């Protein structure tokens, strides 16, 4: 059997783990974007990866007295990532809030040529060799795929998704999410997870040649209650 070719989009995502030394997050993570932007125009402590196009819109805005992350995509694909090592069995609970203001037209994670989503949050699980063997658990807000679907990426079998929100039903509303990373990894990949290596927040609209906009806040990784 021929080894699956990893698309450039995912190779660049995995390269981050080779370029930066992650920190250990034994007590979990809390990110409220209250620190504002750094000199690169990114949230402090985060790095940028541009997959398609040469523009990106990353901002932190104030909404009802709270600072939130805002991402906008115009026929491009990019994300921001934060690297830190943690054990998903000891720190399995991932919570966050997100809101989608604009969906990419016709986006569908099941279709290789329509694989765009306004809001995506990935947990990275590096395995040797990291460039081609890192597993990604993706939580997404898709335009077309029904809520609750579990999908293996048509571009890379190392990336597997759970569709948490779909379509326009809650467009413009803040939605709070809570997932068990450890259990989701086992469900999606059928094995015990390796140590996690960080998270990525992503937006893209290049495949559909459209636009997208989303917001994120209150990202936390913690122990079980």
17-31, 77-91, 170-184, 209-223 — which is least confidently predicted?
17-31
**Would you state the pLDDT for residue 129?**
73
Residue 189 tokens read as 């990949």
β-bridge pairing 135-142 and 211-222: unpaired
* Domains of the chain listed by start with CATH number: 8-216 (2.60.120)
Q: How confident is the model at residue 116 (pLDDT cuts 50, 70, 90)?
A: very high
Residue with the bigger pLDDT between 161 and 17: it is 161
- The mean per-residue pLDDT over the stretch 114-141 comes to 91
pLDDT at 13 over 50: no
**Mean pLDDT over all residues of the chain?**
90
Per the CB < 8 A criterion, the answer to whether 115 and 107 are in contact is: yes
Q: How confident is the model at residue 2 (pLDDT cuts 50, 70, 90)?
A: very low
Q: Could you read off the pLDDT of 14-72 as tens digits, one per residue?
A: 444 433 344 455 678 999 999 999 999 999 999 999 999 999 999 999 999 999 999 99
- pTM score of the predicted model: 0.88
Q: Which residues of 31-69 are buried (b: 16+ CB within 10 A; e: fewer)?
A: bebeeeeeeeebbeebbebebbeeebebebeeeeeebbb
pLDDT at 113 over 50: yes
Q: How confident is the model at residue 114 (pLDDT cuts 50, 70, 90)?
A: very high
């Amino acid at each position: 059997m021929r080894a699956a070719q990893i698309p450039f989009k995912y190779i660049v995502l995995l390269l981050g783990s080779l370029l930066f030394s992650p920190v250990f997050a034994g007590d979990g993570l809390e990110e409220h974007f209250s620190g504002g932007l750094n000199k690169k125009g990114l949230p402090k402590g985060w790095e940028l990866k541009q997959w398609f196009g040469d523009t990106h819109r990353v901002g932190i805005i104030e909404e009802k007295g709270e600072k939130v992350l805002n991402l906008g995509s115009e026929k491009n694909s990019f994300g921001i990532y934060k690297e830190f090592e943690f054990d998903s069995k000891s720190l399995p609970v991932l919570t966050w809030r997100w809101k989608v203001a604009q969906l990419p037209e016709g986006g569908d994670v099941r279709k290789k040529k329509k694989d765009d989503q306004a809001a995506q949050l990935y947990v990275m699980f590096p395995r040797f060799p990291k460039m081609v063997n890192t597993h990604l658990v993706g939580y997404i807000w898709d335009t077309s795929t029904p809520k609750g679907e579990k999908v293996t990426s048509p571009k890379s079998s190392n990336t597997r998704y759970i569709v948490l929100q779909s379509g326009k039903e809650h467009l413009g509303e803040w939605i709070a999410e809570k997932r068990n990373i450890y259990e989701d990894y086992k469900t999606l990949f059928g094995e015990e997870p390796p140590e996690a290596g960080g998270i990525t927040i992503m937006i893209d609209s290049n495949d559909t040649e459209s636009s997208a906009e989303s917001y994120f806040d209150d990202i936390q990784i913690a122990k079980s209650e």
